[in-house]
């Protein structure tokens, strides 16, 4: 059933996000949001001096926490289980090893310079917190192509299974809808509701919107594509007839068409030049030895003066004591670590369920560019792994990395397929969208986040602790605070991780301010 | 009245292009055009050996002509009046001098690395001939952002003059249209035309298309924007109410909204990294001394064996003789050069009129990125210079070059303004769209192509010689052939210039083949 976009939004809705939000409509602010900079954290420069904070997890939530704490003068340690920063912000390149919890290892073998962002791969222009960090850290960005009119839609049950270009689907749909509404207006269907003047304006508007001809008919448009492009000499454009409305009316077929208009999927979207992991590496460079790698956490204890966190490094057990702790670990990992979370918090964590987002990526000749004029964007299929996601980087390069299958595999038959069966299904999707080209795919990698070591999940699927579980974990549990997209209404996005980290730092700063006012130099609140 | 896009299409229509083409609808080909490579020129390798061709003009039409002729073994000379290749394909940078025919000179003073494409600035993914040359010549491409949901629309007469984000205009429009059609369907307005099953599918489809609520109402959508973005902790998304349908119904206000869906303006669009002139410089590098610069043509004569072209170079008169001549000069220049064109050709050239496209570009802090989350794309105003065109290059760089005013100035009051008045009007447009930021604009340049030396026009406005004028000049006039976008149905685009050049080379090759078969080693047809 195509991309997990809808599933994903449902999950966010479950968490009290968009779904809940849209239940109440509020008044209108027409000016564009001037939110290019994140709200400043309410804390004085140097206010963290003398106060220790330990941050668990070196993903975006942990890195932003440490980066902001450091700015305020805190003494910070980040404990990261892996030998690299970024967590799910991970870019696969030649030599990258994808290791699953069952011991399966895939070593990527790709041409130098080719890469795939295995986790997050998009920065919406409305995610100004993350964009602000890119600006601050000097991470060069380029366009991530999420909207392309040359990409395709395929449905075994429609149009004889032949793929349809998005330009055709989108523009013929609008044309037919405009013709039908224009007809209704002409027949007087809206006479009781709309004034004569507005009906006339509506009719004139629909002529452009469709576009419709002088008789109010939709007879096709160059917007929907041309059979032959205009050329030199006598070669005029040869138009295409529109797709039949019956084909367009199959709602399932078209559902994926409109995700490009979702708030956080709209153009312009961006990506760091060279790979998404340029962001965590830029944070890590700025933090230096604050980030301790290969240091998995083994125990989290509250103490009289804050927290004591145990971890291993170089085969030996170590401990770090601090006044505060920000937990930026996936709940799937946290629940395995002995801890002193209060019962209500523990319940949310232990009963939580993780999503199983995956990507299958292949190296190939860029036949989509060279033979189909497709430069970036996504093609969708109704059956089998979907979407096809074409690379936005290295346009015109002879080879590239293309995704065939980006979905949530949990609770689906796909989950039980062997790796080879998954690759076969992925290749079959490509063959359906681009007949004859499935065989050009080489060197696949399957990154199923439910299986990836140190993650065991792509993002939070559902919170434990009942409907108010989310509201519990956004509070402080004594000296313990949560960060990460899990502690935000922007699940599955780096923006959520960054915002929750900034919020945690703000909450700690407020406690430290109070503690210092009452004479505690270490900023700790006595338990 | 905003961008000249509509005017432009009208002009193309006048020339027998889109407008004429759409008069007859033809049958349907659903598969995407597989035209990523240009049709090969019908000629054998080496078939031009021993045959001389002189090409007049070193714009894209002339360069492609010479490049393809050279491939076939012809002996080629390109005569170019300027000291650089490219013609209208021209990139302004620090130090570039824009010289008008009246002697006015503007020397650009911009930060190193900032630039503006003063002529063509977009490569549609459907212009596979030009894209093919970029691939062949190794010109790196990046995305040119033509579609952005964060850009703005402004109309003094609507919404109190306040700019509206395109995401709101586009998505609220679709929402209202969907609600109205859904209502009509429910009231039975289409019962006579559409089956019950299709009406039900239509209703279900409109719920997603709008999107509409369970009652079939459009109550807004995150697609149209959020009052407050979702965030961390308790910060849920706060929706905006939709714009009133009455505001949306003002057809003039919204006309510019749909140009992004036109066949040759649709995403994905591209641009060469570093400036559009990377293309002519790549051609010129490949051609070497074939291109003679600072060599304006002074006379074009037919001879018994072909053509004799006179030109000046280093202050002295020179001549070149050849069997064939490709004229890739603007008609505005050609009509001033004494020539032996046949009367019917001469009439078309002499009676032709040129368009007056212009751009006004400024250097500025990137307030559109930093304060508005606008990364590339275009904002439109109904009055005054329009559109605002934000740079697609150097995203996140502190400064950039932004266009405020890109239109055809001919036959408009704007044409008569002084340079300073033009700049004032341009700055005022920016102030309307981005209040408070007009004053940030610095170092303007006005490139009015009607005034530019060696062009005196942006593109063909109308052909002389009556309605069939175009059909005349696409034929051979003895040894003389036309190339350039003027000799194509893709006026104003490099693609038209390239296609017409390839066509001229093909026509010449056919004549040469025949001449050689009859024993003429120089390939010439005796006159």
Instruction: For residue A150, list chain B residues with Cβ-Cβ distance below 8 A.
Output: 32, 125-126, 266, 268
Asked if A180 lies within 8 A of B178 by C-beta distance, the reply is: no
If you classify domain B48-88+277-352+460-527 with CATH, what class do you get?
A: alpha beta
pLDDT of residue A258: 81
Task: Report in angstroms the alpha-carbon separations of B150 from A9, A124, A207, B378.
Answer: 22, 11, 25, 9
Backbone angles phi, psi at A207, to 5 degrees: -60, -35
pLDDT of residue A6: 36
Q: How far is the alpha carbon of A204 from chain B, nearest alpha carbon, in Å?
A: 7
> Is it the case that residue B7 has pLDDT exceeding 50?
no
CB A328 within 8 A of CB A494: no
Domain A164-249 adopts which CATH fold?
de novo design (two linked rop proteins) (1.20.1440)
In CATH, B166-249 is 2.40.30.10: no
Confidence band of B251 (pLDDT split at 50, 70, 90): low
Selected residue of B174, B232, B493 to mutate for chain A interface (largest A Cβ count, 10 A) = B232
Selected residue of A233, A375, A393, A491 to mutate for chain B interface (largest B Cβ count, 10 A) = A233
End-to-end CA distance of chain B: 51
Selected residue of A209, A230, A484 to mutate for chain B interface (largest B Cβ count, 10 A) = A230
Domain with CATH 3.90.660.10 in chain A: 92-121+141-158+268-272+357-448
CB B163 within 8 A of CB A31: yes
Asked if B374 lies within 8 A of A241 by C-beta distance, the reply is: no
As a dihedral over the C-alpha atoms of residue B518, residue B520, residue B522, residue B525, rounded to 10 degrees, the angle is -70
Cis peptide before B387 (omega within 30 of 0): yes
Give the orientation angle of helix A60-71 with respect to helix A128-137, to 10 degrees: 60
Asked if B177 lies within 8 A of A177 by C-beta distance, the reply is: yes
pLDDT of residue B526: 67
pLDDT of residue A524: 87
> Is it the case that residue B67 has pLDDT exceeding 90?
yes
Output the six-digit token pair for A253. Answer: 């077929």
Confidence band of B258 (pLDDT split at 50, 70, 90): confident
Residue ranges, chain A, pLDDT below 70? 1-38, 251-253, 526-527
Of the listed ranges B144-148, B259-263, B368-372, the least confidently predicted one is B259-263
Q: Residues B272-300: pLDDT tens digits?
A: 999 999 999 999 999 999 999 999 999 99
Cis peptide before A8 (omega within 30 of 0): no
Interface size, chain A vs chain B, as Cβ–Cβ contacts under 8 Å: 392
- Beta-strand ranges (E) seen in B131-248 are 141-144, 152-154, 164-165, 226-228, 238-239
User: CB neighbours (10 Å) of residue B160?
Assistant: 9
Instruction: For residue B32, list chain A residues with Cβ-Cβ distance below 8 A.
Output: 150, 152, 163, 165, 225, 372-373
Domain with CATH 1.20.1440.240 in chain B: 166-249
- Average pLDDT value for residue range B356-379: 97
Name residues whose C-beta falls within 8 Å of residue B513's C-beta, 6 or more positions apart in sequence: B43, B47
CB B375 within 8 A of CB B391: no
Name residues whose C-beta falls within 8 Å of residue A288's C-beta, 6 or more positions apart in sequence: none
End-to-end CA distance of chain A: 51
User: What is the rounded CA–CA span in Å between residue A76 and residue A95?
Assistant: 32
Which letter, b or e, does each residue of B505-526 get, where b requires 16 or more Cβ atoms within 10 Å of its Cβ? bbbbbebbeebbeeebebbbbe
User: What is the rounded CA–CA span in Å between residue A391 and residue A365?
Assistant: 12
Asked if A474 lies within 8 A of B234 by C-beta distance, the reply is: yes
pLDDT of residue A127: 95
A180, HSE (Cβ side, Cα atoms, 13 Å):
29
Q: Residues B455-476: pLDDT tens digits?
A: 999 999 999 998 899 999 999 9
If you classify domain A1-22+46-83+274-352+456-527 with CATH, what class do you get?
A: alpha beta
Cis peptide before A387 (omega within 30 of 0): yes
User: CB neighbours (10 Å) of residue A499?
Assistant: 30
User: What is the rounded CA–CA span in Å between residue A161 and residue A381?
Assistant: 10
Name the maximum alpha-carbon separation found in chain B. Answer: 87
pLDDT of residue A274: 97
Q: Residues B155-205: pLDDT tens digits?
A: 888 888 889 999 999 999 999 999 999 999 999 999 988 889 989 999 999
pLDDT of residue B20: 28
* DSSP string for B402-441: EEEEEEE-TTSGGGGS-HHHHHHHHHHHHHHHSTT-GGG-
Which letter, b or e, does each residue of B121-158 get, where b requires 16 or more Cβ atoms within 10 Å of its Cβ? bbbbbbbbbbbbbbbeeebebbbbbbbbbbbbbbbeeb
Percentage, residues of chain B above pLDDT 70: 91
Task: Burial-class residue B210 by CB neighbours within 10 Å (0-12, 13-18, 19+).
Answer: buried
pLDDT of residue A438: 98
> Is it the case that residue B6 has pLDDT exceeding 70?
no
Q: Residues B194-234: pLDDT tens digits?
A: 889 989 999 999 999 999 999 999 999 999 999 889 999 99
Using CA coordinates, name the residue in chain A closest to B250. A201
If you classify domain A92-121+141-158+268-272+357-448 with CATH, what class do you get?
A: alpha beta
Q: Considering CB atoms only, which of A143, A226, A489 is closest to B143? A: A143
pTM for the complete prediction? 0.92
């Amino acid at each position: 059933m195509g991309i997990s976009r809808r599933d994903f939004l449902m999950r966010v809705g479950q968490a009290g996000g968009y779904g809940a939000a849209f239940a109440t409509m509020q008044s209108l602010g027409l000016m564009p949001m001037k939110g290019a900079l994140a709200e400043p954290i309410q804390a004085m420069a140097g206010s963290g001096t003398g106060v220790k904070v330990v941050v668990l997890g070196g993903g975006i939530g942990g890195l932003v926490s440490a980066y902001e704490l450091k700015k305020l003068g805190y003494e910070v340690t980040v404990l990261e289980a892996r030998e690299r920063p970024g967590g799910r912000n991970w870019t696969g390149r030649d030599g990258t090893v994808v290791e699953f919890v069952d011991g399966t290892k895939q070593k990527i073998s790709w041409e130098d310079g080719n890469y795939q962002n295995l986790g997050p791969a998009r920065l919406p222009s409305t995610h100004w917190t993350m964009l602000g960090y890119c600006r601050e850290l000097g991470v060069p960005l380029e366009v991530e192509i999420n909207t392309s009119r040359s990409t395709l839609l395929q449905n075994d049950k429609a149009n004889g299974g032949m793929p349809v270009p998005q330009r055709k689907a989108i523009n013929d749909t609008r044309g037919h809808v405009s013709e039908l509404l224009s007809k209704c207006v002409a027949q007087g269907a809206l006479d009781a509701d709309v004034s004569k003047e507005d009906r006339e304006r509506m009719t004139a508007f629909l002529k452009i919107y469709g576009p419709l001809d002088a008789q109010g008919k939709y007879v096709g448009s160059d917007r929907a594509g041309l059979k032959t492009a205009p050329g030199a000499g006598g070669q005029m454009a040869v138009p295409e007839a529109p797709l039949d409305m019956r084909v367009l009316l199959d709602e399932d077929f078209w559902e994926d068409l409109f995700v490009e208009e979702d708030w956080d999927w709209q153009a312009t979207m961006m990506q760091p030049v060279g790979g998404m992991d340029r962001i965590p590496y830029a944070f890590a460079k700025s933090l230096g030895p604050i980030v301790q790698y290969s240091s998995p956490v083994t125990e989290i204890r509250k103490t009289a003066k804050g927290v004591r966190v145990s971890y291993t490094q170089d085969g030996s057990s170590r401990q770090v004591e601090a006044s505060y702790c920000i937990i930026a670990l996936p709940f799937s990992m946290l629940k395995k670590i002995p801890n002193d979370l209060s019962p209500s918090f523990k319940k949310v964590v232990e009963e939580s369920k993780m999503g199983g987002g995956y990507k299958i990526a292949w190296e190939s000749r860029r036949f989509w560019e060279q033979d189909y004029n497709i430069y970036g964007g996504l093609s969708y299929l109704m059956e089998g792994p979907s979407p096809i996601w074409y690379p936005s980087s290295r346009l015109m390069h002879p080879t590239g990395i293309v995704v065939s299958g980006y979905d949530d595999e949990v609770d689906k038959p796909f989950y039980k397929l062997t790796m080879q069966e998954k690759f076969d299904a992925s290749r079959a999707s490509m063959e359906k969208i681009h007949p004859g080209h499935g065989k050009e795919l080489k060197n696949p990698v399957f990154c199923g986040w439910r299986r990836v070591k140190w993650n065991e999940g792509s993002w939070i699927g559902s919170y434990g602790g009942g409907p108010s579980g989310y509201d519990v974990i956004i509070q402080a549990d004594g000296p313990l605070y949560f960060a990460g997209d899990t502690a935000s209404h922007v699940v599955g996005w780096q923006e959520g991780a960054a915002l929750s980290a900034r919020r945690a730092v703000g909450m700690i700063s407020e406690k430290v301010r109070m503690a210092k006012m009452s004479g505690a130099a270490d900023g700790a609140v006595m338990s």
